[in-house]
Structure 1
């Protein structure tokens, strides 16, 4: 059974915002401050990251308009490059995405456990139990149908955006005393290196919107609604990110940012006291729930596309005709999250690995726009969305910026040379799995 379009432009806009705003913005500014070492590089990285992300959003908006299909992130690779390359890139991204979800869910549990659990259970085991329960509850909600899941996502996303607005406006509360007494630690190395390493965490915080093209088969009127949703969604995200980073800086200063990972709770504690800190911790957990939910909703669509091409077994594209849910594909992704939970160390440990795979996969997907324009040139005379100004420069800015970050991550692996080998081996393993699958198909025929 094929997927039927049931999601509106508003649904997809909320999905875009939730794919981007996870837990990152409530923690990564601390990592950016450490790498930047001063105010200019810190804000420069966030502004530059926003501009690059806007270029990326415009690029993927045109990709989504030219090639709207379920599992679009995989299908674009297969259509423009080769099915083997498509599988190699996407299978790594799906695994790293599950790892990212697991790590972010752990952070959310760390925020909520001091409020929910007694002191004796506030340990690593208690954190994992809360995380597993959260993932399973969201799994159950997603099982009830894609429309219900999208409505749940809409509520969580509006709540999350509202929380950021409240934190930003709270700095104007009378009596707030900025904690600027902590001296900032200067960056190590030269300015270019500091800027490049700052962008690793910045791009992680901005990333996610490219996965929107996975919903090409779920969206009503995708050729118009996909680009508009991406543009509105990423514009909202950039505005919120710049506002909350200014709020962090205004209250904590660069030195305070460098030494504080629970930024939102710390800032709320300074403004509203202990009660404000606890309330903010609850809101942080809700933010994590929204991020986990949207990934459970999105990632199985890639499995669907792979199964359509015969690379994965047909069971991965099996749909419940009533709910439009990929019951097996979604279950597989949730199991992957739960398995990774037993091995993942921390959010910080996973950041470099996740971003290494992400920057390569997303930038190469963006390169496909040049091939897609040639393959779908007949659409140029229609009313689909295309990049109007600087149609070559805009994608190039995005692609080259991501490659710059990839090089900086690769250089940072010198502290652990086996990390780079692990990343490259993951791609090699994906290629091997693809050709093994093709060989079995031929033997079956």
Structure 2
């Protein structure tokens, strides 16, 4: 690491508690799929149809977004092989650009990006569940908090149980999507405007319309990067992490395209644009009220699985930050029996519950939606630093390499910049609030940096196995 980018001091301690390698290739693929597919594919395709109008452009934008996601998987695959450590983007940003950008990434996740997502998805899960079971609206918050506590407890006692839960709910959400797509492809009568030769009017400004439609598509494809957070717990991560990323993203792209084809065949582009719940409308049209009930259950299952994924992977980032001496030392500790960052999991759950009960998570999360793709672009840029160090001989040559380098990562960075700029331009006041929330981490960073360099209690590391002082 360059001297000007050196991270916070690390000290050796005798505690050897470390992460346990329990995540195989199949679980890795399920993490990728579960990290991308939430509720968006069941609800959001209508936004794309509203912006581009025609069936061909609607599918084309989803194809384009899939290409960007696939390039992202290639980039994160090489980065994961180069630094297969817990924390993912935090590690790459720290190694390439220094401790402050890495800390701000982790700070944003802890403050609102991950915890706000946990709150929002927990409430969404509760909303679908009470609708499905006919429970009173007053059950929403208790059910949301209960889901956070339950899944945090599951992930507290081991990554194996957490990934097993993820595998089950990812498979269930794939079953729901398979029923949706199968019914659409086998039972749907093709909507007139979707038939060969038929088309609705093109948007007035094709380029702007496609660009506007690409923003929600790229947000729907985001999430593959979270698997890199648990790289240190994967079996043979140098081999399995890139494979899991590629297989998972390819599976999601296939599912997304089939789902959109189902919507278009069933509802047509105009019907899709007018629908606020395209999955329910499509399956309800094909299978009647039972189809609507089934897809409501499918969305509840999908949100629950996504909630588990965020709760599982995000504490690894806080743990890595604390192990660098940049946060409460206790969060750096791994449980001697469970080999999980238990304090980080509890801390995350507590803050997510506060956000859930306060009801502020929605506005806060909206204000930092650009931050995910800001981190994606910055993380992809670290690949150029690693490659430069490789050419200089300071790091070994990576076995797995991004195809089309340097063009493909540059295209990915451009796509990320487009999403960030688009998000800021659409609501500059909200973006300013989000930027201020993230920049509030700067004094926090210098506080912890000073505390560590001043000889106070700091996390300690030996042979890459993170722990905290007893």
TM-score of the pair, normalised by structure 2:
0.86
Quote the residue 1:101 is aligned against: 118
Where 1:7 maps in the other structure, the secondary structure is coil
Quote the residue 2:79 is aligned against: 63
Where 1:323 maps in the other structure, the secondary structure is coil
Is the 2:189–2:265 Cα contact (8 Å) retained in structure 1?
no
What whole-Å deviation, never above 9, does each CA across 1:215-253 have from its counterpart, x for those lacking one? 121011111111111111111111111110111111112
**Equivalent in 382, 390, 393 of residue 404 of structure 2:** 390
Query: Aligned partners of 1:164, 1:174: CA distance in 2, in Å?
Result: 15
**Equivalent in 275, 289, 294 of residue 279 of structure 1:** 294
What whole-Å deviation, never above 9, does each CA across 1:66-87 have from its counterpart, x for those lacking one? 1111112111111000101111
Q: How many residues align?
A: 434
Task: Give the drift of 1:354.
Answer: 4.4
Task: Give the drift of 1:143.
Answer: 2.4
**Equivalent in 80, 84, 100 of residue 96 of structure 2:** 80
Quote the residue 1:146 is aligned against: 159
Is the 2:65–2:214 Cα contact (8 Å) retained in structure 1?
yes
Quote the residue 1:355 is aligned against: 369
What whole-Å deviation, never above 9, does each CA across 1:340-370 have from its counterpart, x for those lacking one? 22345797x6775343111111111111001
Query: Aligned partners of 1:304, 1:376: CA distance in 2, in Å?
Result: 28
Query: Aligned partners of 1:187, 1:107: CA distance in 2, in Å?
Result: 34
Unaligned runs of 5+ in 2: 1-16, 457-470
Where 2:232 maps in the other structure, the secondary structure is coil
Query: Aligned partners of 1:111, 1:164: CA distance in 2, in Å?
Result: 16
Q: Could you say if the C-alpha distance between residues 399 and 175 of structure 1 is closer, same or farther in structure 2, counting changes exceeding 3 Å?
A: closer
Note if 1:126 corresponds to 2:136.
no
**Equivalent in 127, 132, 157 of residue 110 of structure 1:** 127
Query: Aligned partners of 1:224, 1:198: CA distance in 2, in Å?
Result: 35
Within-5 A mapping of 1:19-38: 19-38=35-54
What is the Cα-based RMSD across aligned positions, in Å? 2.5
Where 2:259 maps in the other structure, the secondary structure is helix
Query: Aligned partners of 2:184, 2:346: CA distance in 1, in Å?
Result: 43
Judge which range, 397-406 or 27-36, deviates more.
27-36
Q: Could you say if the C-alpha distance between residues 27 and 104 of structure 1 is closer, same or farther in structure 2, counting changes exceeding 3 Å?
A: farther
Is the 2:28–2:241 Cα contact (8 Å) retained in structure 1?
yes
Within-5 A mapping of 1:393-412: 393-412=407-426
Within-5 A mapping of 1:238-277: 238-277=253-292
Is the 1:139–1:296 Cα contact (8 Å) retained in structure 2?
yes
Quote the residue 1:206 is aligned against: 221
Q: Could you say if the C-alpha distance between residues 180 and 277 of structure 1 is closer, same or farther in structure 2, counting changes exceeding 3 Å?
A: farther
Is the 2:188–2:266 Cα contact (8 Å) retained in structure 1?
no
Where 1:216 maps in the other structure, the secondary structure is helix
**Equivalent in 353, 367, 375 of residue 389 of structure 2:** 375
Judge which range, 27-36 or 5-14, deviates more.
27-36
What whole-Å deviation, never above 9, does each CA across 1:302-339 have from its counterpart, x for those lacking one? 01110111001221121222222221101111222222
Query: Aligned partners of 1:173, 1:346: CA distance in 2, in Å?
Result: 41
Quote the residue 2:332 is aligned against: 317
Q: Could you say if the C-alpha distance between residues 242 and 342 of structure 1 is closer, same or farther in structure 2, counting changes exceeding 3 Å?
A: same
TM-score of the pair, normalised by structure 1:
0.90
Is the 1:24–1:205 Cα contact (8 Å) retained in structure 2?
yes
Is the 1:98–1:336 Cα contact (8 Å) retained in structure 2?
yes
Where 1:136 maps in the other structure, the secondary structure is helix
Is the 1:176–1:271 Cα contact (8 Å) retained in structure 2?
no
Unaligned runs of 5+ in 1: none
